Chains A and B, each alone.
Chain A
Amino acid sequence: MMVSIGDLTTKEIPQWCPGCGNFNIISAVKAALAKVGAETHNTVVVSGIGCSGKSPHYLRTYGFEALHGRVLPVATGIKLANRKLTVIGMGGDGDGYGIGLNHLIHTCRRNINMTYIVHNNGIYGLTTGQASPTTIKGTKTKSTPHGVIEQPIHPLALAITSDATFVARVYTGNLPHMINVLTEAIKHRGFALVDALQLCPSWNKVNTPEWYKTRIYDINKEGHDVTDKMKAYEKALEDVNTGYAKVPIGVFYQVQRPTYDDELPQVSKQELVEQDMRHIDLSKTLKEFE
């Protein structure tokens, strides 16, 4: 039985600020889940800590609100235990590109069959406005009153070099595009990173709707070949942080390769969670100790 957007809605009132990009991300996730025919009981949304961390509470699915930066290992454990579940990870740019960046690289190369949406607003919102790994160099924030010194991270380029099989960027100001890309990401067999450029009206006064309006363009409308890794990499480096005037969105890279669990004979016949654990015969195993 396919879910409707209504089935996915909880009565909990979102805690986000008015104008926050998270509202549209949640709307897009609901719409995409409905489009792919997901079921509420077979969907798990895993979040970390930050504004994005609240997401599971506003979706009537299973959820796990984990620790800051640890979305991906928790989601990996869930997916490997029961591959029948649709697993969606959500974290912010601090969560996924800062404290938890290590896990992103390894989850990319593992090709865990799940979707990871990074709510990338270029700032720490929940902790009231400190620089994040994607804050533009020079930006003055509470933790960088004299301006950020480091170069911002290039998450899509990082994911492509780490052999993620689906790498995309969306903009929370463009809901229809976001729904389409998220639908493709959830349908993708393998690890899908969706970097969601997110408005933060409370703390990010640089990347405003006006700022994005003149810069965003959809690379898929320009005949970008999503299977061309080098082209995808070039596009992934093409943003205002590297001297370009424009910010590309769309699907940058998509290829097929076996998922991590495809190469696990342990789960080829039955999910781990379905396997009999009450009749384990250790006699052969113990004999080796004689």
Chain B
Amino acid sequence: MAAFTWKIGGEAGFGIMGSGLLFGKVFTRTGYYAHIYSEYPSLIKGGHNTTLVRLSDKPVYLPPYTSDLVVALDKFAVEAHIPHLSQNGGLIYDSKDADLSNVQIPESVQLYDVPLLELAQKAGGDMLMRNTVAIGASLALLNYPLDQFNDIIRETFGKKGGAIIDININAAKNGYDYIKSKYDISKFPFKFAPNPNAQHKLVMTGNEAISAGAIQAGVKFFSAYPMTPASSILHYMASKELEHNIVVKHCEDEIAAMNMAIGASFAGVRSMTSTSGGGFSLKTEALGMAAMTETPVVVVLSQRTGPSTGMPTWTEQADLRFAIHASQGDFLRVVVAPGDVAEAFTLTQKAFNLAEKYQIPVIILSDKFLSESYSSVDKSELKVLPIERGKLITEDMPPLKPQEKFKRYEFTDDGVSPRPLPGIIGGEHVSSSYEHWENTFSTEHFETRKKMVDKRARKITLLEKELDPPTVHGPKDAELTLVCWGSHKHIVFEAVDRLNAEGIKVNALHFAFVHPLPPSAYEMLKSAKKLVIVENNSTAQFGGYLKEHAGVAFAGSILRYDGRQLFVDDVYSSTKSILEGKAKDIAIVDKEPVEFYTASFVR
């Protein structure tokens, strides 16, 4: 079965994003995979929101450009989304809200005029229930029973009591029956059949996967300041603080959040903080303190467009170099950029293990696209890693010999020194942001300074052996290799599949561990016949990093920095252009009606 994409668009405040999740879950409970992607402007109230739900019997990780069935809750939604309808696609709208007489609609588009508000009101509902009617109508077109959706309504509104459940169930039924009675659904080319015995898949955002991974890893202290698109980590952690005994602190600022996390970690608990680029700017001084004091800490940096406030609700991968270089001085840190929800869950656990084993800061680099999009995963994909705490000295170990100050920064072969937790007799020491002797007193002794820099740096020898190699996707002997990282994994992988299906032999190399580079990466890069970098920023930051560290050259670049992530179509057609010698460095941009982005049409 080919993938199918459903899109709902309308004014903010009408539950657009929530509808997408409900619609997607109908299918992820009956054997299908879903990816749910939302776009919304950074407006306090109003603006046009859209949610795309892509469904398939194979895993799906991204939205396509085109949709197969659009629910347009107002006239603007019709105008904005008609150009993105696939051949023979359908449009559900309410002619009472959207007069289409002046709208150009291609003949291939199948129109379904459904009195959304009237059917909602008939069920006892209001404007907000139009989505439910539309979902019922959509399921009818797909010839999909309402049972699953009814179950989801009962669960979602269960706490609110019986009446609201009945209204929603009736609203969905009204939409469903309306389509079945007025239209010949066999003309709509997409059909689904439920597998009621299928195991329910999990539907999570990247932020939820990071949060769940952190909880699995034993995080006990989480401090943050809200910032889109990282805020939902704070919300999720806070919602679970009692269930999993985690102290979750919304701090006065990002500086406090970072310093608190470091303090809690010094005292012996696993701690994490999360933010976006602006907040990470404020955290950078303490990031260096974590490195100098050798205190483990995990920082989530979910990128949005920059610089400065940028476009808060849109996506970019332009903080990579910032993450790699943030804070003064040379020091070791790990930057890991998960490529999907399953990786986000597992690599967050790994981030905690690496932070504690090597006593370093670890940055998890996400972005709006990964952080806020939902993906379905099989539970088995969420791998649980054993907890490794490294050279921690805890109470259950033999007592330490009393001494003036414990050699917290003892020179060791692997660069990692034993770390007694406050409370351990004989472990008294100062974790110091100043350069220090082994026994933690401050020093400006040149030889010791150099030895300390070297000690902290040589942790990399053992550390880099633990970094997962980049993932290769596609034929080994490809003519061209697309290099990508983080959230763009499946976008590039899917483009590679499409190109190979046409006999164009390309492959992809995806990096989750972007800094330091996994040792195997060098050979993998050098053995590629031709490299093209694919990134969601304007300067090919990772490409430049690879040039510097692996000595490779790129035959071209496929970049995008207009606020959206790349789409498969972008990578597919750009790769073709590069292969045909028509272009070398390509920057993608979307042309949407200008009202799409402004408050001017709020009504």
Q: Which residues of A are in contact with B by a Cβ distance under 8 Å?
A: 10-12, 40-42, 44, 46, 49, 54, 56-57, 60-67, 70, 72-82, 84-85, 102-103, 105-106, 264-267, 272-273, 275, 277-278, 280, 282, 284-286, 289-290
Tell whether, in the assembled complex, residue B441 and residue A63 are in contact, meaning their CB atoms are under 8 Å apart: no
Given contacts A57-B441, A84-B423, contact A62 B428 (CB under 8 A): yes
Q: Which residue of A lies closest to B267 (CB)?
A: A81
Residue contact A77 to B289, C-beta cutoff 8 Å: no
B212 touches A40 (CB 8 A): no
Other-chain contact of B244, A79, A267, A278, A285 (Cβ < 8 Å): A285
Q: Is the CB of A81 within 8 A of B268?
A: yes
* Residue B176 CB within 8 A of the other chain: no
Given contacts A11-B404, A57-B430, A81-B221, contact A280 B264 (CB under 8 A): no
Structural contact, B289 and A264, CB atoms closer than 8 A: no
B428:A77 contact, CB within 8 angstroms: no
B56 at the interface (CB under 8 A from A): no
Chain B residues, Cβ within 8 Å of A62: 422, 427-430
B67 partner residues in chain A, CB cutoff 8 A: none
Chain A residues with CB under 8 A of B258: 73
A63-B430, A67-B285 are known contacts. Are A12 and B259 too (CB-CB below 8 A)? no
Nearest Cβ on chain B to A191's Cβ, whole angstroms? 14
In the bound complex, residues from chain A placing their C-beta under 8 Å from that of B441 are 12, 57
B270:A46 contact, CB within 8 angstroms: no
When distances are taken between beta carbons in the complex, the residues of chain A under 8 Å from B423 are 41-42, 82, 84-85, 273
Contact call A266/B247, Cβ cutoff below 8 A: yes
Identify B427's interface contact among A11, A41, A264, CB under 8 A: A41
Closest to A60 in B: B428
Contacts of A74 in B (CB 8 A): 259-260, 262-263, 266
For B28, the chain A residues whose CB sits under 8 A away are 290
Q: How large is the interface on B (under 10, 10 to 19, 20 to 34, 35 or more residues)?
A: 35 or more
Known: A65-B433, A81-B269. A73 touches B259 (CB 8 A): yes
Q: Complex Cα distance A54/B442, Å?
A: 9
Establish whether residues B247 and A103, one from each chain, have CB atoms under 8 Å apart when the complex forms. Answer: no
Contact partner of A81 (CB less than 8 A), chosen from B203, B220, B242, B425, is B220
Instruction: Assess whether A65 is in contact with B430, with CB atoms less than 8 Å apart.
Output: yes
Please give me the residue from chain B that is nearest to A109 by CB atom. Answer: B252
State the CA gap A22–B200 with chains docked (Å): 64
Q: Which of B252, B253, B425 contacts A41 (CB 8 A)?
A: B425
**A57 CA to B434 CA in the complex, in Å?**
11
Q: Is the CB of A66 within 8 A of B289?
A: yes
Q: Is the CB of A78 within 8 A of B263?
A: yes
Q: A57-B441, A290-B203 are in contact. List 5 more A-B contacts (CB 8 A).
A: A12-B441, A77-B264, A82-B268, A280-B216, A286-B379
Collect the chain A residues with CB atoms within 8 Å of residue B251's CB. Answer: 73, 106
CB A29 to nearest CB in B, in angstroms, measures: 15
Q: How far is the CB of A3 from chain B (nearest CB, A)?
A: 11
